[in-house]
Chains A and B, each alone.
Chain A
Amino acid sequence: MTTAERSARVTTAEARNLPALLQSLHEKDFTGTVRISGSPGGTIHLRGGLIAAVETPGAPTATSALLTSGRIDDETWLAACAAQRDTDRLGGHLVAAGLIGAAELEVVCTAAVFDAAFAMAIGPPGGWTLDDPEPTLVAGAGVEPRRLTEETTRRITRLSGPWGAPGELARVRPVPVPDAGLRRGLSDRHRSVLATVNGRRTARDIAFTLGRGLYAVMLDLTRLEAQEFIRWETGGASESRPSTAPRVLPGGGAPDRPPTRTGPAGSAATAGPLPRRTPGGTAWPGRSPARESPRAGQDPVGEGDALPAETSGGHGDS
């Protein structure tokens, strides 16, 4: 075991939550991977203590954003991957080949880091484990953990509204108001979001469909709803349905099992009953009883906050 590995093990055992862990790893110039369990869970890639990339099933990656939007077509992408097999260096190859500008790639990758962090933060917190570095698309130096935490907190605050916490808004399946598409005064971006709203897609589904960030899509949805282009679906899908399948760490048990070091959220999770289906129950959390009486295991305001500093996180069993 190297000094860095021993150091990381001590760090992860001492950290009280994920922001504290990332800050501590930043101070140790840690290079490696932090795997987060839970729903949606994810992987945080650190290079020299800075967050180079974050991947989660809850939000499109930088690669997905580039390909889905058509910024780089599939064939060109595959050719680039074949020419540069080291994924960490793929970004440099894309720039050198003139497929994208260095600054633009940096924008795409940075946006994906913050968006993935937000997507993980609005889900129930899980545990974490440290691992060796894994190849991933990177551009630029990376993001300081403190900045990532502050921005994630800002985003959660921004999207907390009459509907409750952002995690509840993410489960809503909006429906278009009749003839909304015929109305004037809508930007092309909002019109593209409106075109994907069909009463079945969640914000995450729309984000993946458009290759856009989850937070950006959720912001656009709130603005469309405020202008009465869409309305929140009431009835239909169960409000307890997660938008992504829970991620289980290798060797771990149930994804939402309480962490070894149990925080307030973890304690509550053990006490809660199993979720029940509610036929015909309201899907819009702002009008559901869950707002007044949050489900056990969920924080009513900062629901599932893997990153915000005020939360307790997982455990450190690397």
Chain B
Amino acid sequence: MISIHLALFLIFGVVAVAGAVNLLAQRHPINAALSLIAVMAALAGEYMLLGAEFLAAVQVIVYAGAIMVLFVFVIMLLNAGVEERTEGSRVAIIFGIPGVLLGSILVAWVILRYSETEAVPAGALPGAPSTIGQLLFHEFLLPFEITSILILIAIMGAVVLASKPEPAAGGPSKKLATEQKVND
């Protein structure tokens, strides 16, 4: 008999894994972005199962709603097309993939074999916003403030890096036709 908890876990898990594999399989980046959004949604479900409500909400709002939207914007801005097949690095293919595969299989096997099968009850630890907030502003105040500064810097950096170079400043000679179109 499978409990609801396990069934939900499996459903969300399968969706997540399928999305991840699809990310690998798709050749157009926009498809990959959409499958990543699916993964994130599934993970939000997982978080709910684990009782991290606040995190689930943040995952959907920030991760899937802001970051992935940013990705999609950039993909469309740059008009990224279908990926070409190029001669890449042999090391990546030969060593990387099998390595990762082996590593993950090994880890999975070990975990499944040797760890205790103590169950994690659903919603065991209520991750209510108030409790998280308490933690955030008491024990983790310093990291909080630092990350806010980090975001500020990131904003400034992104603006500077992505801004269009001055036409009179003699930027790179190649100008994008698409860029012209977008900015018109």
Answer yes or no: do A and B interact: no
Which residues on B are within 8 Å of A, measured CB to CB? none
